[in-house]
Structure 1
Amino acid sequence: MPVLIVAGDEEFELSRRVQDLRATLVDSNWASVNFLRLDNPPLQEIIEAAGTLPFGPGNKLVLIDRCELFTKKRSKSGDEGGKSESEGKGKEKDRERLLDDLEKSLASVAANTYVIFACPFNLDQTLKTTKAAQKHAKIEKFEKEKFYVGSPNGKLSSWCRTEAKRHGATIEDQAITYLLDGTEANLRQIAAEIEKAAIHVLPGNHITYQAVVQLSPYHSHVFALADYWLSGKGKEALASAEELLTRQSAMPIIATMQTMISKWILMKSLCEKFNHDLPTPPGVLRRELPMNELVRRVAGELKAKEFMIEKDLKRISKIPLERLIEKRLDLTRLENSIKTGMIPESHALQVFLAG
């Protein structure tokens, strides 16, 4: 099918797909005349471009880049967004005519002309433009996978293994976890790190956790910040936060800390429950399970990998459950203060770490 809609908020995979299509469909010797890129054009321009033919041998590729036709973020002439109600009504007939023309033009695209709509937003299939186009187009979705720091994600882990395979390598599970957590599942950054690690381990072909840690620029990421905070190293925690703030705003850091603390509270609560449920012989005040047994039970309860659970349980081993609950409440109050404009987000993070 010569018409393709690639849509989704996973920008890296979408852009890689577009690059692959261009390399496959267009003869590089004729690319200057047979490749046309239009940046979110109005409907009339798309209709005209869809009717063009290749010059010389091979195919022609018309790329409608950063297309907003099939999402609610549309704004250009012929779209349905960004208009007042009266203006929208006044141009309704013109819009319907353009949609009819779009559908006809896509239905009659020449066999060696390819029209690709690259949409950096998730597809909205309720829109008239989407309904008109999808009758004659193949749709490929590239939606960002939901990811929560510290939680296993089979789909993203599989993606990392496939990415390593692109470079003729395999990769350890622990290395995958480190990259996913350290980049908050930023696939573009992970792909760059895997490529770098695959080259580093040559002539071998197995990417280890140690290799990734050695090469990765994320030593000062939020997990190092959390480690400093848990161990009471306030000065180091503040320095780590300052370094992180040069790369991103404070809110994602605060949100990640909130997620981590909530997870630690759950893990700590499970450990206390497992220990409390142990039968206690007469004269013994308290029994505790050994670390390896706690790891096994908590991992089973949370359906997580044991090495991840062991790492977190060691992190929080000396922190009372009550302290974690108190700090989560503090962080929640600070988040509310940020949202109401009472305190700047970077200052709120510093207050939390210093407290």
Structure 2
Amino acid sequence: MPIYLFWGEDEFALNRAVQALRDRTLDPAWVSFNYDKLSSEQPDAVVQALNLALTPPFGAGNRMVWLADTLLFQRCSDEILRELDRSLPHLPDSSVLLLTHSHKPDGRLKSTKLLQKYGEIQEFSPIPPWKTDLLVQQVRRAAQEVGVKLTDDAIQLLADSVGNNSRQLYNELEKLLLYGFTDDRPLNAAAVRTLVTASTQTSLQLAATIRQGDTAESLGLIADLLNHNEPPLRIVATLVGQFRTWLWVKVMVDAKERDEKEIARAAEVANPKRIYFLRQEVAALPLAGLEQSLSLLLDLEFGLKSGKEPIALLQTKVIELCQLFQKAKS
């Protein structure tokens, strides 16, 4: 009785997983008989989905029932909970019940605990842009899935270019697959640079220019990010993550900590080898400046969430941040 909950805001990655599950569950000749997708807006959608999942498939293959955008794991009535408790343990092995939603399930609800007992939960959330190690791993996995051979420098460049945009990642990999179709050799960074459209500027680049106190370049990056429809709160989230990492590395370095693994643990950096480069990045930065930068970023986040005009607020706070690090250099 395979039961799945797919959740997360990365709609493209989630839908790819749904399609993969559909392909391996259903016989193509019997799809119209054995595949049902229900919207949570339909009356009695949960009961209908459970009844369909309890029905044996017609012909070859298995049955798949998809209940999309369900709120079962954000709120659940006693009546529906009883239906779940009655049905989930008895779903036949020939049926797959899939439930999807963009938000994380509430672990306190009995419906979530029931699903954890009988099913499997998979998360499809965008990787935070500052977790560069995870972005590289995502590119490596996706390249293997698509069948594109890439050198290590090409993988790094592709991760830098597309960030956490999984839709663009697969689009670019399909393009690279066609380019390297006649050649078994791995594609290098030069090929990626020629063919891949970078997103183009990333919030991590913005963090680096702020750290260097380059006001003009930082304002240009803000304009580029907004022109590419990057949400202001996502820009701020990336900046907070990066400056928080720099702050922790600086704190540990100033405390004379030499163990890179210990510094990585404190800064929540997955790959301790990155600490060597992070130490170089924070070497000339004052601890007080990094602490103050997080205070300014908190003010920026509060202003955006309070409904202030985002462009002017972003520009103002970025100028203040750059001036903060210009003073540190002088």
- TM-score, normalising length from structure 2? 0.71
1:63 and 2:66 matched? yes
Q: Hey, what's the Cα distance between the residues in 1 that align with 2:197 and 2:262?
A: 31
Q: 1:175 to 1:102 in 2, by over 3 A?
A: same
Q: Does 1:164 align with 2:146?
A: no
CA distance in 1, matches of 2:290, 2:83: 61
Deviations 1:291-319 (A, max 9, x none): xxxxxx79666444657854x66766776
1:309–1:148 CA distance, 2 compared to 1 (3 A): farther
Aligned residue identity for 2:312: H
Aligned-partner SS, 1:116 = strand
Q: 1:84 — aligned with what?
A: none
**Cα distance in 1 between the residues matched to 2:83 and 2:281:** 62
1:206 partner SS: coil
> Normalising to structure 1: TM-score of the pair?
0.67
Higher helix share: 2
What is the identity, as a one-letter code, of the residue corresponding to 2:219? L
- Amino acid corresponding to residue 186 of structure 2 in structure 1: H
Separation in 1, partners of 2:282, 2:107: 46
AA matched with 1:32: S
Q: CA RMSD in A?
A: 4.0
For the pair shown, which has the larger CA radius of gyration, 1 or 2? 1
Q: Distance in 2 between matches of 1:192 and 1:302?
A: 37
* Number of aligned residues: 307
Unaligned regions of 5+ residues in structure 1, if any?
81-91, 278-296
Q: Does 1:34 align with 2:14?
A: no
What's the offset of the Cα at 1:209?
Answer: 4.4
Cα 1:223–1:309 change in 2 (3 A) is farther
Equivalent positions of 1:1-355 (< 5 A) are 1=1, 3-9=2-8, 11-40=11-40, 41=42, 42=44, 43-69=46-72, 71-72=73-74, 74=75, 79-80=76-77, 95=79, 98-109=80-91, 112-124=94-106, 126-130=108-112, 137-142=118-123, 144=125, 147=128, 149=130, 152-153=133-134, 157-172=136-151, 176=155, 185-202=164-181, 203-214=183-194, 215-246=196-227, 247-267=229-249, 302-303=263-264, 304=271, 306=273, 309-310=276-277, 324=290, 326-339=292-305, 343-355=308-320
1:350 deviates by 0.3
Which residue matches 1:286? Answer: none
Cα distance, 1:301–1:218 mapped onto 2, change above 3 Å:
farther
Instruction: Kindly provide the amino acid, as one letter, of the partner of residue 313 in structure 2.
Output: A
Identical columns (%)? 25
CA separation of 1:14 and 1:184: change in aligned 2, threshold 3 A? same
Q: What is the rounded CA distance, in whole Å, between the counterparts of 1:131 and 1:257 in structure 2?
A: 35
Q: 2:150, 2:188 within 8 Å by CA — same for their partners in 1?
A: yes
322 and 219 in structure 1: CA distance in 2 versus 1, 3 angstrom threshold? same
